[in-house]
Structure 1
Amino acid sequence: MNLFERLYDEQEDVKVQFIGFTTESARYDFGIVYTNMFFGKPLVVCMQTGRSTLLCAEEAENWEHVKKVFQIKCDNEAQDLSLFFEQKLPTMSFESQY
């Protein structure tokens, strides 16, 4: 009996960028995986906590989403992190996602 239905099993060479920086009250270390999977959205991984999300620049504008995903306690820190991602991540049109 087959318990799992395979949805995809892809392999690709990807670009990964590691970025570490500090703010007034925190240190951040992220890995950003640029892939063709997931509609081309980068996979953003917090190297300190292991939390990750698919994120493009437009989605990063929503600092409350960034705060929730990476469990940031301070609104100002989340806003700063959101601004960083807006500048760093590629933009994605809605049409290219769906």
Structure 2
Amino acid sequence: MNGDMLIYDETEETKTRYIGFFGEHKRYDLAVTQTDRFYGKMLVIDIQSGRSAIIGPDDLEEEGYLAHAFELTEDQAAELHELLSQIIF
């Protein structure tokens, strides 16, 4: 790899929580990673779809954020919001 193109290369200890649950509308398999990299926000990865988002408490309150980030219906996003509200604060 050409060193002139590399922007950063860092290693960091992280804490990852794996959560699987059935909602009324969908099954969710998530990896939620805590890191110092994103200013206190968490990296949330939907393992099934491969979609991810950096989420903090402010993002949870933003209308339509989860639906857009994970390509969910409003009902599915509401289920995910309920779970993440207990984890991200």
Q: Which amino acid aligns with 1:38?
A: F
> How far did 1:55 drift?
0.3
In structure 2, give the amino acid aligned to 1:44: V
Query: What 5-or-longer segments of structure 2 have no aligned partner?
Result: none
Separation in structure 1 between the aligned mates of residue 62 and residue 85 of structure 2, nearest angstrom: 10
Report Cα offsets for 1:27-82 as digits up to 9, x if no partner: 00000011010212111000001000100122112251100111112x12212211
Query: Does the CA contact (< 8 Å) of 1:18 and 1:29 recur in 2?
Result: yes
Determine helix, strand or coil for the equivalent of 1:32: strand
What's the Cα RMSD here?
Answer: 1.7
Segments of 4+ moved more than 4 angstroms: none
Inter-partner Cα distance in structure 2 for 1:45 and 1:57? 16
Matched, 1:59 2:52: no
Taking structure 1 as reference, are residues 30 and 17 closer, same or farther at Cα in structure 2, changes over 3 Å only? same
Q: How many residues align?
A: 88
What is the percentage of aligned positions where both structures have the same residue? 31
Unaligned runs of 5+ in 1: 91-98
Q: In the alignment, which residue of structure 1 is the partner of 2:82? A: 83
Task: State whether residues 25 and 75 of structure 2, in contact with CA within 8 Å, keep that contact through their aligned partners in structure 1.
Answer: no
For residue 25 of structure 1, report the CA deviation from its aligned partner: 1.9
User: Whose strand proportion is higher, 1 or 2?
Assistant: 2
Contact preservation (8 Å) 2:45, 2:53: yes
Pair 21,63 (structure 1): closer, same or farther in 2 beyond 3 Å: farther
Structure with the higher fraction of residues in helix conformation: 1
